[in-house]
Structure 1
Amino acid sequence: MSMKAPRGTVDILPQEAKKWQFVEDRLKDVCGRFHFDEIRTPLFEHTELFQRGVGDSTDIVQKEMYTFEDRGGRSLTLRPEGTASVARSFVENKMFGNPSQPVKLYYFAQMFRYERPQKGRMRQLNQFGVEVLGSADPAVDAEVIDLAMTCYQELGLTSLKLVINSLGDNESRTSHRQALVDHFSPHKDELCNDCQIRLDQNPLRILDCKVDRDHPAMQNAPSILDYLNEESRSYFDQVQNYLTRMGIEYEVDKNLVRGLDYYNHTAFEIMSEADGFGAIATLAGGGRYNGLIEELGGPSTPGIGFGMGMERLLMALDAESKEILIDDQLDCFVVAVGDEAEKEAVHLLHELRKDGIQADKDYQGRKMKAQFKAADRFKAKYVLILGEDEIQREIVNVKELETGEQLEVPLSQLVEKMHEMLLGGIENE
C-alpha cells in the first residue's frame, strides 16, 4: 500500500521550514512595531460559529468546510478562516472589557477548505492574519492596510497592487442590494446555478463569481459606490486620505467584494503583479466587519482585519527572485574516537548547548574520516576533536574548517573559548 499525504496537503521539509521561520519572524517583528499581540485559537470550532459568522450563503460554508460529528453528536468544523474564531474568543473571554481598546491581535493558523487543489490553493493552508476590534476610526482601516503592505515590503516584494472598495453601511448595502436584484433578475436564467441562488440570498456576491465574470451584465452592474450614503462616502474618503498621506498607492475597484458575508465599509486586496506568478494573484484580502461581534452574542463592537496566505507569500518571493538567506551553518561538530572520548563528547555537547552554542556529533559509530565528512555536510564552523590523547591531557583540539587553523583548548575552558572564537575566529586568539 502506498502511503502519501492526502490530496491538497504538502509536507514542509526542514530546509523549507527554515524559510517559513524566517518569514514568520519578519511578520512578527512588524506586528510588534504596530503594537499587535498574538492570539491562538482552536483548530476546530462548533459548526454554527462559521454558519453565523462567515455566512450561510458563502462558498466556504456551502461547499468547502470539513465538518464532522464528535462522539457526543456535536457538529464541529475544522476552521476554514480565522476571523470568526478570533471574534468568538473576543466575546467568550470578554476582551471588550479590557481597559486598553481597541484590541489588536495577530495569528498564524492552519485553515482547511475542501476545494480543488492547485498552485497557491491547498486544502490545508497556512494563514497569517490580523484583527482590530473596538474602533470605528477610519485611521484603523488605513493602519491595517499599512501593516499588510509593510509585511510584504519588509520581505523585499515590489510588484504589488493594492485595490480598495467600500461596501458601505447597512443602509447603503440595502439600496445597492435592490439595485443588483433589479439589474440581474432579467438575466437570471443565463447565470450559473450558484449565482441564481445568490440573487435571492446575497446578490453582492454575484460580482465575485468566477464563472459569470465575463457575462455582459457584469460589465454594467450597479456599483456600490453609486449607492453610498453621506456617512459611508465620508468614511471611505477618510480611508483614502490616510493612505495618500502615508504614501501608499492604491486603486479603487468598484467590483471588489469579499467572499464572506460579514464585511462592510472598507474592503481591500493586495495582489502580486510579478511575471510568472500565476492566475491566482491575490496575496491578501480583508476589510471591516462591524456587526460580527453582535452576531456572535457580544456587544456592539466594530472590527477590521485581513488574512494573508503564507504559501502565496512564499510564491511571490520566488516570482520576484527574492532569496531568503538562511544561516544553516553549525557552530561546532564533535569528532570523538574511542569509548572515553564518546562519553566526554556527550558531556561536552550538553555544556555547549546549555551555554547557547549550537553543536552536534556523530551517532552512527563512524570512523574519524567519515565524521569529518559529516561535519562538512552540516557546514560546521569548527570541529572539536577528542581522542585518547586529548582525554588523557584534558584538552580538545579545535579546528576551524574554513581556514584549517587548529588550536588546543583545555576542556575546562572550552565553552568560554568557543564563544570567543565564534565571534573572532582562531587567528584572532
Structure 2
Amino acid sequence: MSGKSLQSIRGIHDGLPAEVRLWQRVEAAAHETFATYACSEVRMPILEPTELFKRSIGEATDIVSKEMYSFEDQGGDNICLRPEGTAGAVRAYLQGGLTRAGAQRWYYIGPMFRRERPQKGRLRQFQQIGMEMFGVQGPLEDIEVLAMAHSFLSELGIAGLRLEINSLGCQECRPGYRNRLVEYLKAKKEQLCVTCNERIAKNPMRVLDCKVASCQAALTDAPEMVHHLCEGCESHFDGLKQGLAALGVPYQINARIVRGLDYYNRTAFEFVTDKLGAQGTVLAGGRYDGLVESLGGPATPAIGFAAGLERLAMLLDDREEGGPDVAVVALGSEVVNYSLMQAAGLRAAGLSVVHCGGGAAKRQFKMADRESVRFVAVIGGDEMQAGKIALKDMASGEQQLLALDEVVRVVSA
C-alpha cells in the first residue's frame, strides 16, 4: 500500500503528542475552572439521531443543509456524527428525566464533526469543550456563565482576547425586527453575495454576520436587533452589562453577533482574537430558552457556550513542554535488573521516567538527550553495590550519588 493511500481524510488529522499536550493544558484549565462554578462533567455519544439536529439547529442552517455527516445505518436508522454539543446535551437532559431536578450545570469535552471548508484552526473533525446550564433564566446566570468563560480563558493565559456581546431578542420582539430587516435586505439584494441572497428568506439575521467585504459595505445602516428589543429583553441585557461591569469583565457590544444556530435568543456572545485571521472566534455561545421545549420537554430556560481545543491551543504561549523527569542509563548487563527496580521506584513516587534500555552508554546518553530529560540516573556496578543512583542534573552538569528517596526529593524540588 502506497504512502499516499495512507494519508488521512482532508480536514481530519491525528492528535500527535506535542499537540495533545497542548490540548491537555486546555482540558486541565477547563476541569479546574468549571469545578469552581459547580459544573459537572457529562459524556455523550458521538452518534446522534439526524432528526435531533434538524429540529434543534434548523434545516435552513449551513450545519444541517451543507456540513453534517449523516447516513442511514444497517438497521435503517438515520444517524449522524454530532456537529455540535448543545442539542445532544438537551436530549440527554430530557432522556435522563432531569427536568424537575433543579438547575443543571454541565460541561463536556470531545470530538465534533462538520464538513466545512478546512481553514486555519477549523477542521472537519475538531475537539470541543462545551458548557450548558439548564433551568436558569435571569441575567445573573448569564453573568455567571460569561464570568466562567472569562476565568477559563484567563487561566490559559491567552492575551489579546475581547468579549463581544449582543441581544438577539425573543419571540415577542424578534418577528417585528425580522420583517424590518428582510425589507431592508431585499432593497440591497443586488449588492449582496449569493449566499446572503439565499439567507434573506431562510435566515435573514445571518446576513449581518457575512464576512464578504462587499456585503458588509452594503449593510452599514442595516437595522440591528439590539435597538428593537422589547422591555423584557432590554431589562435582561441591561442586567447583563451591569453584572459584567461589577465583576470587572471587560466587554464590547457587537450588534452583528447573530450566532449560526436557530435556537439562540436574548444573550449572545463571542470571545474573539485578531491572531487567527478572519475566523477569529475562539469561544462563543448564548441563551436558548426555547430549545428544550421544541424537543418535547417543558419550557426550560438555558444558556451555554463552546470552544474549539485546536483554536485555543494555537493561542497558547510557546513555552517548551518539558520531557520526562528522569532517564535511567544502565551501564552493563549485570545492572539492568537493578536499574529496572530503581526506575519502578521513581515511578511509584510519581516521577515521569524513561529507561534507556541498556547497551552502549553512548547510545543511551543520546536517547536521554533526545528525550529532553531534566535528570539522568546513571547506574553502574559501583552504584548497584552501594544501593545508590548517580543523579546528573542536565542543566548544571552536577552529579550526585544518592539513595532512591534522595533522588525523588531532588527531582521533585
Distance 2:54 2:331 in 1: 64
Is the Cα–Cα contact under 8 Å of residues 382 and 398 in structure 1 kept in the other structure?
A: no
Is the Cα–Cα contact under 8 Å of residues 384 and 396 in structure 1 kept in the other structure?
A: no
Q: Does 1:331 align with 2:325?
A: yes
Deviates more, 1:348-357 or 1:279-288: 348-357
1:86-119 CA-to-partner distances (Å, cap 9, x unmatched) read: 1111111122232xx3211122221111111111
Partner of 1:308: 307
1:361-396 CA-to-partner distances (Å, cap 9, x unmatched) read: 124x531222122223323344334445555x3624
1:307/1:213 Cα in 2 relative to 1: closer, same or farther (>3 Å)? farther
Paired residues for 1:51-200 under 5 Å = 51-98=54-101, 101-188=102-189, 191-200=192-201
| TM-score, normalised via structure 2 length | 0.91
Q: Does 1:422 align with 2:408?
A: no
2:347 counterpart letter in structure 1: R
Question: SS at the partner of 1:135?
Answer: coil
Is the Cα–Cα contact under 8 Å of residues 290 and 300 in structure 2 kept in the other structure?
A: yes
Is the Cα–Cα contact under 8 Å of residues 164 and 252 in structure 1 kept in the other structure?
A: yes
Q: Does 1:294 align with 2:293?
A: yes
1:195/1:390 Cα in 2 relative to 1: closer, same or farther (>3 Å)? closer
Distance 2:327 2:356 in 1: 8
Distance 1:216 1:338 in 2: 75
Question: SS at the partner of 1:278?
Answer: coil
Partner of 1:344: 338
Unaligned stretches of 5+ residues in structure 1:
425-429
Q: CA deviation at 1:16?
A: 2.8
Kindly, what percent of the aligned residue pairs are identical?
40
Question: SS at the partner of 2:390?
Answer: strand
Partner of 1:272: 273
1:100-151 CA-to-partner distances (Å, cap 9, x unmatched) read: x321112222111111111122111222221111100111111111122222
Partner of 2:235: 234
Question: SS at the partner of 1:327?
Answer: coil
1:327 counterpart letter in structure 2: G
Distance 2:326 2:159 in 1: 38
1:52-74 CA-to-partner distances (Å, cap 9, x unmatched) read: 11111110001011112211111
1:81/1:324 Cα in 2 relative to 1: closer, same or farther (>3 Å)? farther
State the number of aligned residues.
408
1:407 counterpart letter in structure 2: L
Distance 1:302 1:42 in 2: 24
Unaligned stretches of 5+ residues in structure 2:
none
1:293-326 CA-to-partner distances (Å, cap 9, x unmatched) read: 1122222111111111222223333xxxx33452
Instruction: Give the alignment's Cα RMSD to 1 decimal.
Output: 2.3
| TM-score, normalised via structure 1 length | 0.87
1:188/1:323 Cα in 2 relative to 1: closer, same or farther (>3 Å)? closer
1:127/1:403 Cα in 2 relative to 1: closer, same or farther (>3 Å)? same
Distance 2:40 2:160 in 1: 29
Distance 1:158 1:83 in 2: 27
Is the Cα–Cα contact under 8 Å of residues 192 and 212 in structure 1 kept in the other structure?
A: no
1:153-181 CA-to-partner distances (Å, cap 9, x unmatched) read: 22223322222111111011111122223
Distance 1:377 1:313 in 2: 28
